[in-house]
Amino acid sequence: MAEQFVGKASEFKDGERQIIRIGEDEIGVFRHQGEFYAYSNFCLHQGGPACEGLTIARVIEPLREDKTSMGLHFSETDMNFVCPWHGYEYDMKTGAHIADPRVKLRKYDIVRKGDEVYVVA
């Protein structure tokens, strides 16, 4: 396992992403709420660029105690990233598909050395 330089944390704005290419492998690195997350850029559906699409808050539908719906809302806490080919939607913190957590992108470790950010691949 080698450490691949991603960039300087001070230049990596929150909400941004970078795609790191190592040979034929591709890793998407996100910065979300100060934390870094790195996943395979190959969607588990048909191989699309899973990390290159929209990031968007999870849509939730809270139910009241009487089981009536409170309608559709954006989550205040959970963020997803979406494969732009077909809309496969993954959880930012785990890389798991939001409809089936067994469908999970390979996650890579992130190492910070001072201001420098590395992905372990």
Partner 1 sequence: MDLIADRGRRVTVEELNTSKLLAHAAKQVKDRKFDDVLIVDTDAHHYENENFAEILPFMENEVFKQLALSSRAKAGRGNVAPSGFGYQDMGGRVTRYPLRASEKTDPGRQRDAQLGDRWMNAMGVDYSCLFPTGMLNIGLHPQKEMEFELCWAYARWVTEKALPDCNGRMYTMLCLPFSDPEGSLRMVETFGDRKGVGGFMITSVREKMQVSDNAYMKVYRAIEERGLAIAFHSGPNWGSNTFQSCNRFLSAHALGFSWFNILHCTNWVVNGMGERFPKLPVLWIEAGLAWIPFLMQRLDHEYMLRPSECPVLKKKPSDYMRDMYYSSQPMEIQDMEALETTFRMINAETQLLYASDYPHWDFDLPSTIYDLPFLSDRARHNILGGTAHKIFKLPPRNDAQKANLIKYGNYVGG
Residue given tokens 């959970």 in the structure block: 78
Question: Minimal distance in Å, beta carbon 5 to partner 1?
Answer: 21
Distance CA 28, CA 107 (A): 10
Q: How many residues bind partner 1 (CB under 8 A)?
A: 21
Q: Given its phi and psi angles, is residue 113 left (phi above 0), alpha (psi -120 to 50 degrees) or beta?
A: beta
x/- map, 62-101, partner 1, by CB under 8 A:
------------x-------x-xxxx-x------------
Question: Minimal distance in Å, beta carbon 111 to partner 1?
Answer: 26
**Nearest C-alpha neighbor of 59 from the set 95, 83, 36, 91:** 91
Question: Minimal distance in Å, beta carbon 103 to partner 1?
Answer: 11
Distance CA 26, CA 23 (A): 8
Residue ranges binding partner 1 (CB under 8 A):
15-16, 24, 42, 46-49, 52-57, 74, 82, 84-87, 89
